[in-house]
Structure 1
Amino acid sequence: MIRNFFRHILDSFKNLRRNGWMTIAAISSVTITLALLGVFLSVILNTAKLATDIENNVRIMTYIKLDQHDNDKQYTDPKDKTKIIDNKNYHVIYDQIENLDHVTNVTFSSKDDQLKKLIDSLGDTWELFKGDANPLYDVYIVEADKPENVKPLAKKLSEIDGVQKAEYGGKNTDRIFKVANTIKTWGLAGSALLIFVAVFLISNTIRITIMSRSREIQIMSLVGAKKGYIRWPFFLEGAWVGLIGSIIPVLLVNYLYNVAYKSFTPSLITQGLSIIKPTEFLPVISILIVAIGMVIGSLGSVISMRRYLKI
């Protein structure tokens, strides 16, 4: 049995070389299909990841009224700049926010911090608003435990005494939630559809190569060769076609993904987002591409030659 197995492996290599252009055509078809599949899966899975991050990263901007000094233990008397007042209402608003249900984190950002972000993003023009000319509000950035609790929590925050308004993006954020759910649903469906297309294209390409050798299969059957003996070299040949055809897609996906990760990560991190790390994603997608290529190639060979064994 072991001797036959190694003979089948040797025969499968000989068949690959002997069939020349048909082998190249099959490998090319597998390469193109798996490359498209790898790129598509990379985009879909990371888009779904970003959609989830966006969905979970929605924050409620709680703007404090201008006459409130909730985060200052002391503040300057607006009527007398030389006078310092102890703030008896220090953290009154903060404590109310923290005690609300579904609040997981509260971060303070002063109006000076808000202005600095605008200057960094939009240029030095905004520097004329420094100091007393600053028209912005102090903000408590509130994070909710679940996306569905953002809207009702924003309403409760806006009702707190001393809060000017509480914003979470309104309709735009609602659209983000819908888009996130759509991407996760249809993205997975699209991936499954592309895998099905890959199976169809690769198996049909393998079938064409088998058809070109139908006479060889029939002659082997007529001289008394067992079906298993005939089937094994073709099974292994299909697996080699899938394996060889997956090499370029794996290298391509690894290269493109590393380039994309280095390009997009800096800007995404500033927004609290990220795509899947290459060390976590690439080994999985590489194994998946190779496995799909080998399984479809080998099964495609066996299924395609069944009709020629029925004589």
Structure 2
Amino acid sequence: MSVAAISAVTVTLLLVGVLLSVLLNINKVAHDVERDVQVRVVINRGTNKEQIKQIKADLTKIKAVKKIKFSSRKQELKNVIGVYGDDFRLFQGDSNPLYDVYIVETNSPDQTIKVAKQAKKIKNVYDARYGGVAAKKLFKAVATIQKWGLTISVLLLFVAVFLISNTIRITILSRKDEIGIMRLVGATNSYIRWPFVLEGAWTGLLGAVIPIILVDFGYNWAYAVLSKSFEGTAYRLLTPGQFLWEIDLLLAVIGIVIGALGSGLSMSKFLKI
């Protein structure tokens, strides 16, 4: 029964560890995508240097603006060539159809639309682009991911508590004769209870060891493989050192606490006079 209890704890905590790792990384990438949304303030053609500086000054006055970066027509064309290939080199020089641009970052992603509307009103600004409907959908999708990620995590912990505590309870029920004999020879309730509580805690801890090892090794392998897919983008997975120790500690605490509580509560049935 002890082996069965440890196995149940192992399987349950492994599921908890894997899903938490996945949810935390989904949340991280969602934040990166959200932060990558910027306002591109397009400057009218023929605007002189002084007027361009004035546009930056006006943008700085907007409270929600965090950072402003200038990108010339030449730089914008270089970016296009880098993405779409050398065919676009024919637009170099006077044939360049692109505009000078100010790239604006906001204090928070949900202020992007507001800043774009204010930027459009500035003199010598041709347009202010932020992604339009796509940006609104993105903000909504990120909020949904965060909400459901938290909900799934909480439900998962409840499932872990239920499965582990019930498995521990079964092991206690299988030893009711042993508990009855201890009571008959005059053992006190605390004398009977504490060995079982400690046994439950050890069962939970031993059951957490394998999930901790598998999650750590598995995530390090997955991080090495998947990180290559994010090269050249603004998105990153959580590095193993950022959060794995927290998940390891959480798994150990869940195993110990639920194992001890499951044993303690199960004992109450047999210790009633």
- Please report the TM-score for the alignment, with normalisation by the length of structure 2: 0.88
Measured at CA, do residues 119 and 258 of structure 1 come closer, stay the same or move farther in structure 2, by a change above 3 Å? farther
> In structure 1, what is the Cα distance between the partners aligned to 2:80 and 2:220?
31
> In structure 2, what is the Cα distance between the partners aligned to 1:266 and 1:68?
42
- Aligned partners of 1:265 and 1:275 also within 8 Å: yes
Question: Which residue of structure 1 lines up, in the alignment, with residue 6 of structure 2?
Answer: 27
> How far off is 1:34 after superposition?
0.7
Question: Which residue of structure 2 lines up, in the alignment, with residue 98 of structure 1?
Answer: 60
Measured at CA, do residues 89 and 154 of structure 1 come closer, stay the same or move farther in structure 2, by a change above 3 Å? closer
> How far off is 1:98 after superposition?
2.2
Letter in 2 for 1:32: V
Does the residue aligned with 1:100 lie in a helix, a strand or coil? coil
> In structure 1, what is the Cα distance between the partners aligned to 2:44 and 2:221?
46
Does the residue aligned with 1:209 lie in a helix, a strand or coil? helix
- Aligned partners of 1:61 and 1:166 also within 8 Å: yes
- The alignment status of 1:37 with 2:16, answered yes or no, reads yes
> In structure 2, what is the Cα distance between the partners aligned to 1:36 and 1:169?
38
> In structure 1, what is the Cα distance between the partners aligned to 2:211 and 2:162?
18
* Of 245, 251, 259, the match for 2:213: 251
Structure 1 residues without counterparts, runs of 5 or longer: 1-21, 71-87
> In structure 1, what is the Cα distance between the partners aligned to 2:193 and 2:253?
20
- Aligned partners of 2:110 and 2:139 also within 8 Å: no
> How far off is 1:255 after superposition?
2.2
Which runs of structure 2 are paired with 1:44-55 in the superposition (5 Å)?
Answer: 44-55=23-34
Question: Which residue of structure 2 lines up, in the alignment, with residue 222 of structure 1?
Answer: 184
> In structure 2, what is the Cα distance between the partners aligned to 1:268 and 1:58?
17
- Aligned partners of 1:202 and 1:297 also within 8 Å: yes
> How far off is 1:58 after superposition?
2.5
Question: Which residue of structure 2 lines up, in the alignment, with residue 287 of structure 1?
Answer: 249
> In structure 2, what is the Cα distance between the partners aligned to 1:116 and 1:265?
26
Does the residue aligned with 2:123 lie in a helix, a strand or coil? coil
- The alignment status of 1:170 with 2:132, answered yes or no, reads yes
> In structure 2, what is the Cα distance between the partners aligned to 1:268 and 1:69?
39
Question: Which residue of structure 2 lines up, in the alignment, with residue 194 of structure 1?
Answer: 156
> How far off is 1:286 after superposition?
0.9
Which runs of structure 2 are paired with 1:77-226 in the superposition (5 Å)?
Answer: 89=51, 91-226=53-188
Q: CA RMSD in A?
A: 2.4
Percent identity, please.
48
- The alignment status of 1:65 with 2:44, answered yes or no, reads yes
Compare the two structures and name the one with the higher helix fraction: 2
> In structure 2, what is the Cα distance between the partners aligned to 1:40 and 1:244?
20
> In structure 2, what is the Cα distance between the partners aligned to 1:118 and 1:203?
59
> In structure 1, what is the Cα distance between the partners aligned to 2:200 and 2:263?
6
1:36-95 deviations in Å (ceiling 9; x for gaps): 11122222233333333443443101112333354xxxxxxxxxxxxxxxxx54523222
- Please report the TM-score for the alignment, with normalisation by the length of structure 1: 0.78
> In structure 2, what is the Cα distance between the partners aligned to 1:218 and 1:185?
49
